[in-house]
């Protein structure tokens, strides 16, 4: 029993915590930053003002995680983000292919609590910043309502991943809200006052079929006149969750301090919409539906953007400008919304894509005037227009990993973030690359990797001479292209087979990308018109063309429903078929045709189809494509770019093996393996149901032996991209043999990278 006598006043418990890094905000960005820093040896306090992790991706909001892959609706091939955010998405795919947001909460909580270097504070809101001087944060004060405890959090470095930038705001960091003019950065897509300067909040609902009639009586505050929503005729009983992203409001208000006001307006809309669906009589199929869940906090898009030493702008994205301090990439469209949101007569979004992914510089990931404050998530230094692309969660989490790794180097070199920018960018880049992080245009050159001095051989290497036919005949109802990695030089003949029931012609083009690391087939280098007769046609296609550099070529068959092409069941790492189709979810209508005065490019979209569709085109290339050699595992690029960058075993090799041999015995403490968990799959975290929980290219089973034949490591049932093996007792050997199993009869074994460290 506790009995307390009367007193004048009392105070809550005050807990003092010290760490190497304090991260405010437990959304996906804060989670990825915390795990990244903790695994590198930093002590981390992660402060989250909600009861769950994940922010907009959590069960409280239920927005799917997307980034450069853009629902597979753009031309950014193999562009899913790497490192910790990839690990989380792959883990969620394995445990939760149904997209249950509650299970995703669990996945995030499990990932964070496994890290002994992270102290997690849930339900704890930062409300005060204490400073050493005008430019330096000393500590944060935070309060947990659940245990009535005040925390003082002290560290040499702080990372703001809070979405609204609460630490940066309280610390006095320079920030912006609203849109820049065209003149400030020369951004032609800068919005007009009529369109508005801020993106609003959204709030979703889920419905459920009970199998029996259900009545709904709306609250008095529900929107009664549904026609106030210009798009009200598009409501239906099938859309729920973040498919209703366009239920948005607040872009003409203060999206920080008016959040509660915005939430109430969104509640009015949601309950008014549901009343319309249930009681208007226009949806008889809704009779047995009930409202299962309504969000209680809105998903925020835009509020404060903080100023770093560089501000990302439209031209960086569209022109794919390079930066010497690149540490991450983006690839979502420049996606701006009308400020009036759901009440606007304008389209709910205005997405304009680039031809490829773009670099994000480290100078945009720290405050320009608060010297020990790193920025992560959507608050990084970007203009309003560029923010339309950098704001999405996978991109935000990806840059958070770079911010966290910079904190590691700050401790190592006793530096502040700006000092890392001046003197240690190459080290920062290499540290990131070692974790599976990809930075376009930056290659890993790790002198400590023992694989670089090894003789690398394999039991076999796929030389692609054929993608054999299966019983797959598909009409050319859409134009389709087979992406093929070709070497520099002359292109030899290809052979395809087609079927037709009448005489016709078939247009075939050979296309490449204007930039070898892009996958937008915007340059036609050869064309053929083939005569097609009734029955089976053997088509030998000889292009009078030369590849000027190693890159993907697109053998393109233009739409003709009278012709059927043969496809194959075979799938191979680094090979894809792409279609000139439509994906309205990302404003892809087959071709992007922007107005001339907004600074965007015109081009066609050529995108894969989701499995179980998206088969490769059956073909023969007698010369053979030798793009899958064993040496690829040491080239420092762990995904397809201008080539597959993978060792792929011949599919007739019954026991594929990769062998590393040294002239003398090496002491090996750590072994990193990078497998193909399909970087082209966006792996949307909630709502969508995925047909597979393990990617078909991923090596599931492997074992590693030393020179004496001893098994030093083995794995059954792998599904992750990155496997790190830390030996309890270092392995001393002059040879390692990695024996892998083919994932299936249709998919040969592949490995992107192998690295060994003393």
Judge whether residue 4 has pLDDT over 90: no
Two tokens at 508?
Answer: 């075939």
More confident residue, 669 or 5: 669
What's the rounded mean pLDDT across residues 677-692? 94
pLDDT of residue 689: 85
Is residue 727 over pLDDT 90?
yes
The rounded distance, in Å, linking the Cα atoms of 7 and 10 is: 7
Beta partners for 576? 483
E strand or H helix that includes residue 168 = helix 166-171
Distance (Å, rounded) from C-alpha 481 to C-alpha 491?
16
Whole-number Å distance between alpha carbons of 737 and 661: 9
Residue 163 pLDDT more than 90? yes
178 — phi, psi (to 5°)?
Answer: 100, 180
What are the tens digits of pLDDT across the range 564-576?
999 999 999 999 9
Taking the CA atoms of 563, 569, 574 and 576 in sequence, report the sign of the dihedral they define. Answer: positive
pLDDT for res 634: 97
* Strands annotated E in 296-372: 305-306, 326-330, 334-336, 350-352, 358-361
Q: What is the 3-state secondary structure (H, E, C) of 473-490?
A: EEEECCCEEEEEEECCEE
Q: Does the pLDDT at position 194 exceed 90? A: no
Tally of helices (H runs) and strands (E runs) in the chain: 11, 42
pLDDT of 450-485, one tens digit each?
999 999 999 999 999 999 999 999 999 999 999 999
Stated length of the chain: 758
Give residue 233's pLDDT. Answer: 84
Closest CA to 140 of 165, 112, 164, 171: 171
Average pLDDT, the chain: 96
pLDDT, tens only, 652-684 = 999 999 999 999 999 999 999 999 999 999 999
**Residue 1 pLDDT more than 90?**
no
- Paired with 673 in beta bridges are 723, 754
Question: Which tens digit of pLDDT belongs to each residue from 200-257?
Answer: 999 999 999 999 999 999 999 999 999 999 988 888 898 888 888 889 999 999 999 9
Task: Tell me the pairing of strands 480-486 and 576-579.
Answer: antiparallel
Q: Which residues are paired to 178 by β-bridges? A: none
For every residue of 523-537, DSSP letters joined together read: EEEEEEEEEE-SEEE
The continuous run of DSSP H or E covering 209 comes out as strand 205-209
What are the tens digits of pLDDT across the range 584-622? 889 989 999 999 999 999 999 999 999 999 999 999 999
- DSSP letters of 186-200? T-TTPPPTTT-S---
* Best CA proximity match to 312, nearest among 366, 364, 379: 364
pLDDT at 270 (0 to 100):
96
Q: Is the CB of residue 480 less than 8 Å from the CB of residue 489?
A: no
pLDDT beyond 90 at 307: yes
Q: Give the pLDDT mean for 13-24.
A: 97
468 in Cβ contact with 568 (< 8 Å) = yes
Q: At 707, phi and psi to the nearest 5? A: -60, -25
């Amino acid at each position: 029993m506790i009995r307390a006598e009367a007193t004048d006043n009392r105070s809550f418990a005050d807990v003092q915590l010290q760490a190497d890094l304090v991260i405010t905000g437990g959304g996906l960005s804060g989670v990825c930053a915390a795990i990244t820093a903790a695994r590198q040896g930093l002590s981390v306090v992660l402060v989250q003002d909600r009861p769950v992790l994940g922010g907009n991706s959590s069960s409280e909001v239920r927005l799917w995680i997307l980034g450069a892959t853009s629902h597979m609706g753009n031309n950014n091939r193999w562009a899913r983000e790497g490192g910790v955010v990839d690990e989380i998405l792959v883990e969620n795919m394995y445990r939760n292919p149904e997209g249950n947001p509650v299970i995703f909460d669990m996945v995030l909580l499990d990932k964070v609590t496994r890290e002994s270097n992270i102290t997690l504070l849930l339900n704890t809101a930062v409300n005060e910043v204490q400073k050493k001087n005008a430019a330096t944060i000393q500590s944060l004060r935070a309060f947990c309502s659940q245990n009535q405890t005040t925390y003082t959090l002290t560290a040499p470095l702080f990372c703001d991943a809070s979405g609204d930038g609460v630490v940066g705001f309280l610390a006095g960091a320079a920030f912006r809200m609203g849109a820049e003019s065209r003149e400030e950065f020369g951004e032609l897509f800068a919005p007009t006052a009529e369109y508005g300067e801020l993106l609003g909040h959204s709030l979703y609902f889920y419905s459920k079929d009970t199998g029996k009639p259900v009545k709904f009586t709306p609250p008095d505050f529900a929107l009664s006149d549904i026609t106030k929503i210009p798009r009200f005729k598009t409501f239906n009983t099938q859309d729920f969750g973040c498919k209703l992203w366009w239920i948005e409001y607040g872009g003409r208000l203060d999206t920080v301090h008016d959040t509660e006001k915005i939430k109430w307006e969104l509640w009015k809309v949601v309950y008014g919409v549901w009343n319309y669906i249930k009681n208007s009589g226009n949806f008889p199929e809704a009779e047995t539906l009930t409202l299962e869940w309504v969000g209680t906090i809105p998903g925020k898009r835009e509020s404060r953007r903080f100023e770093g030493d560089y501000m990302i702008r439209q031209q960086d994205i569209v022109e794919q400008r390079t930066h010497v301090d690149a540490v991450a990439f983006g690839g979502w469209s420049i996606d701006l919304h009308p400020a009036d949101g759901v009440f606007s007569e304008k389209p709910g979004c205005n997405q304009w894509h680039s031809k490829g992914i773009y670099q994000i510089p480290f100078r945009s990931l720290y405050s320009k005037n608060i010297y020990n404050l790193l920025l992560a998530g959507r608050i990084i230094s970007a203009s309003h227009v560029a923010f339309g692309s950098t704001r999405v969660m996978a991109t935000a989490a990806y840059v958070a990993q770079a911010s966290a790794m910079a904190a590691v180097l700050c401790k190592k070199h006793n530096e502040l973030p700006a000092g890392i920018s001046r003197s240690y960018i190459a080290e920062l880049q290499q540290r990131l690359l070692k974790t599976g992080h990809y930075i376009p245009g930056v290659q890993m050159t790790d002198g400590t990797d023992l694989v670089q001095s090894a003789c690398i051989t394999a039991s076999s290497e796929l030389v692609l001479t054929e993608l054999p036919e299966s019983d797959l005949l598909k009409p050319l109802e859409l134009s389709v292209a087979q992406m093929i990695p070709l070497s520099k030089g002359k292109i030899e003949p290809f052979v395809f087979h087609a079927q037709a029931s009448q005489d016709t012609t078939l247009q075939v083009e050979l296309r490449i990308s204007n930039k070898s690391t892009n996958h937008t087939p915007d340059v036609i280098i050869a064309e053929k018109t083939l005569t097609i007769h009734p029955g089976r046609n053997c088509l030998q296609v000889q292009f009078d063309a030369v590849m000027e550099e190693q890159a993907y070529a697109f053998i393109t068959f233009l739409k003709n429903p009278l012709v059927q092409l043969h496809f194959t069941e075979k799938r191979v790492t680094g090979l894809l078929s792409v279609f000139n189709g439509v994906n309205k979810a990302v404003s892809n209508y087959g071709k992007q045709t922007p107005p001339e005065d907004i600074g965007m490019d015109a081009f066609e979209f050529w995108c894969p189809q989701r499995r179980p569709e998206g088969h490769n085109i059956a073909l023969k290339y007698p010369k053979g494509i030798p793009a899958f050699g064993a040496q690829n595992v040491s080239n420092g690029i762990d995904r397809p770019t201008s080539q597959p960058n993978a060792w792929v075993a011949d599919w007739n090799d019954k026991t594929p093996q990769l062998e590393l041999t040294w002239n003398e015995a090496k002491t090996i403490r750590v072994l990193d393996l990078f497998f193909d968990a399909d970087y082209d799959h966006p792996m949307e975290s909630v709502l969508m149901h995925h047909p597979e929980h393990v990617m078909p290219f991923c090596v599931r089973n492997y074992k590693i032996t030393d020179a004496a034949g001893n098994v030093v490591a083995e794995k059954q049932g792998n599904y992750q991209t990155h496997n790190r093996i830390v030996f309890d007792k270092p392995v001393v050997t002059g040879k390692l043999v990695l024996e892998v199993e083919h994932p299936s009869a249709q998919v040969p074994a592949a490995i992107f990278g192998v690295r060994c460290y003393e």
